[in-house]
Each structure stands twice: as C-alpha cells, then as structure tokens.
C-alpha cells in the first residue's frame, strides 16, 4: 500500500483481477483517473464488531469525518440476530454507538421489521451529515432482509452524500457479492429466519455493489490464504476479492473501487468504553504526521483527501 505513515495509508486502486490483499503493494497512487461526484458518500469497511473501541480507528474516523458530517447515525442491526444481541437491546446499542462516534442523534432501521415506507421516510431525508451503520453478524440474514431496500441504500450513498460504515457482514453487503461468506463457512446460510436459498447463485448472493465490483473477505489472516485461493480458483468472477484484516479499516468513495485510505490499529486490543462516554471531538486525535494525503501533506479530513485527487 505504498509507504506506511503512522497508522494511516493511502490505499491502492484495487483494480487487478484475482485476490487483492489490503497489504499488497501497488504503484498506482495519483488517483487522477478517478472523477468524483460531490454527492457520493464515503464507505468505511472494517471487521471487528467493536472496532470503535480501538483508539486508532475511532479517532481517525472522527478526524476524517468532521463534526458537521456526524449529525445522524442510521443503525442497521439486522445481521446481529438473537445470538449476538436480543432485539430489545438494539436501541441501547445504537445510542452507545452514536455517543462514542460523536453523532447528535440515532435512528434504528431494522430491515427485518421495517416497511419500505418507513425506510424511505428515513433514508430519503438523509444527506451528507448522515451515516448508515451496517452492523456485523450473519451475512446471509443481512443480505436477504436488506434486498427490498437495496435501491434506497444505494441511492442514499451514491447520490445523497450519505456515508456508510460496513462492519464485517455490512462490508460484504457493500461489495458486489456476499458469496465469499460461503467460502469461510462461519455464518449460517440456513438461519431459521431465512427461506431456502442457493447462495452459489450470483443473483441470490449479489451485494449492493457500491464499490465498482469489489468483493470482500473479512477477518483475513494467513490461515485463510488457502481458502481464498481455492475460492478464487473455483469461482468464475471478473472482479477482485479484497481481503481485510481485523487490524485494518479501508476507506472508499461510493462508486469507486479505489481504496483512498487505510487506517491500521497498532494497539494490542480495544480500550474500555463507558456506555455514557461521548467522543466528540476526540480528546487526543492522531498526530498530523500519521494522516497523510496523496501529495504527502497532512490530510485533516476526507474533504482534503478528495481535494488531493
């Protein structure tokens, strides 16, 4: 990913076929071939359910997303399921996320129970100060129940300036397919809430495709290398599979496969968070030396990253 500068890297274009690992080297850096729409949102792809408890992730996110872009968090708990969190706790969890990340208000939007009219009322009003938070859990449950809302989510992120945080299953949904979850075998494709579905069918496994064809393999480490290789060998797919390790967050602009920023967590683990803690702004942001743009100058926000392209 080029020269490492602290915990923040500018990512590579991710345009080659075959598996692309987020630590791969890539010479393409200038980004001049990518035109940006002012109304496209930013997408953050990350693995750990509690990514916000890692200081580097949380502080970098807040520094890259100015306070005026952190007004409304739309939390989607659909992937969580009863095994990870009882539905009765969804609101409390969403309120905690809003406080920790520094959002002024939060709305819970569960695709399992929401009507299209309710979702349209929430998403059609969302703008650049809003963020859709696709929480992690069962990828197949999220993919199935989000399907009726695909058009609204994609429109909000591509054309309304709404940002999106994809956590594990949420990041997979942002990609072109969730079939990589089949390779891993950790999520249950026969969850009791699901009808009988063939997840090898490209139409069934199709994601939101917010990133120009990219697909993702989450929680990657060396132990999964053979699984990814076999999956690629047996898979007739023309787009790259991007592997994301748990100590890494990748940042994209909707509609582009180019990874604009890579945030790495250098700490050994998450720090304890008080449920009433509010981190807006962060008490101690990353040093400016650790946030670098394409021209090597400090990047204070994603707006400055966009201006550097």
The 10s digit of each residue's pLDDT in 40-82 is 999 999 999 999 999 999 998 998 899 999 999 999 999 998 7
Instruction: Give the tens place of pLDDT for each residue, 2-33.
Output: 222 233 333 333 322 234 444 443 323 222 22
Please give the model's pTM, rounded to 2 decimal places: 0.80
pLDDT for position 142? 98
The reply to whether 114 falls in a domain is: yes
- Is 177 in a helix, a strand, or coil? strand
Q: How far apart are CA 161 and CA 166, in angstroms?
A: 16
The reply to whether 225 falls in a domain is: yes
Phi-psi region of 14 (alpha: psi -120 to 50; beta: other; left: phi over 0): left
- Between CA 176 and CA 267, with CA 76 as vertex, the angle to 5 degrees is 80
Domain holding 45, by residue range, is 8-308
Instruction: Give the tens place of pLDDT for each residue, 213-271.
Output: 999 999 999 999 999 988 888 877 777 799 999 999 999 999 999 998 999 998 656 66
Question: How many domains, the chain?
Answer: 1
The reply to whether 1 falls in a domain is: no
Whether residue 281 is preceded by a cis peptide bond, meaning omega within 30 degrees of 0, is yes
Instruction: Give the tens place of pLDDT for each residue, 104-113.
Output: 999 999 999 9
Could you tell me the CATH number of the domain that includes residue 79? 3.40.50.880
The reply to whether 2 falls in a domain is: no
The reply to whether 258 falls in a domain is: yes
Read off the pLDDT band of 285 (50, 70, 90): very low
Mean pLDDT over residues 269-295, rounded? 40
- Contact between 128 and 41 under an 8 Å Cβ cutoff? The reply is yes
Q: How far apart are CA 167 and CA 141, in angstroms?
A: 14
Average pLDDT score, the chain? 79
pLDDT exceeding 70 applies to what percent of the chain?
73
CA-CA-CA-CA torsion sign (9, 12, 13, 18):
negative
The reply to whether 229 falls in a domain is: yes
Q: What is the DSSP string of 223-257?
A: GGHHHHHHHHHT----SPEEEE-TTEEEEEETT--
């Amino acid at each position: 990913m080029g020269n490492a500068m602290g915990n923040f890297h500018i990512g590579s274009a991710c345009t080659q076929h075959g598996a692309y690992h987020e630590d791969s080297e890539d010479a393409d850096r200038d980004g001049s071939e990518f035109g940006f729409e002012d109304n496209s949102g930013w997408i953050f792809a990350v693995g750990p359910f509690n990514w916000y408890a890692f200081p580097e992730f949380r502080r970098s996110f807040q520094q890259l997303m100015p306070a005026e872009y952190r007004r409304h968090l739309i939390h989607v708990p659909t992937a969580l399921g009863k095994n990870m969190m009882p539905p009765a706790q969804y609101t409390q969890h969403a309120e905690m996320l809003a406080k920790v990340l520094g959002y002024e208000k939060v709305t819970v939007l569960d695709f399992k129970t929401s009507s299209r009219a309710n979702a349209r009322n929430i998403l059609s009003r969302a703008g650049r100060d809003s963020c859709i938070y696709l929480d992690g859990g069962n990828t197949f449950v999220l993919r199935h129940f989000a399907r009726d809302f695909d058009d609204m989510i994609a429109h909000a992120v591509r054309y309304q300036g709404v940002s999106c945080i994809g956590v594990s299953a949420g990041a997979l949904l942002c990609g072109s397919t969730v079939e990589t979850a089949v390779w891993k075998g950790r999520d249950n494709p026969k969850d009791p809430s699901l009808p009988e579905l063939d997840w090898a069918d490209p139409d069934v496994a199709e994601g939101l495709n917010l990133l120009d064809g990219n697909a993702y393999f989450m929680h990657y480490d060396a132990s999964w290398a053979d699984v990814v290789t076999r999956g690629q060998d047996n898979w007739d797919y023309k787009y790259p599979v991007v592997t994301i390790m748990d100590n890494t967050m990748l940042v994209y602009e909707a509609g582009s496969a180019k990874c604009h920023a890579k945030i790495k967590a250098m700490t050994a683990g998450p720090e304890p968070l008080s449920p009433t803690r509010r981190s807006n702004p962060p008490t101690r942001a990353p040093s400016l030396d650790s946030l670098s743009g394409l021209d090597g100058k400090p990047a204070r926000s994603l707006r400055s990253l966009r201006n550097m392209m």
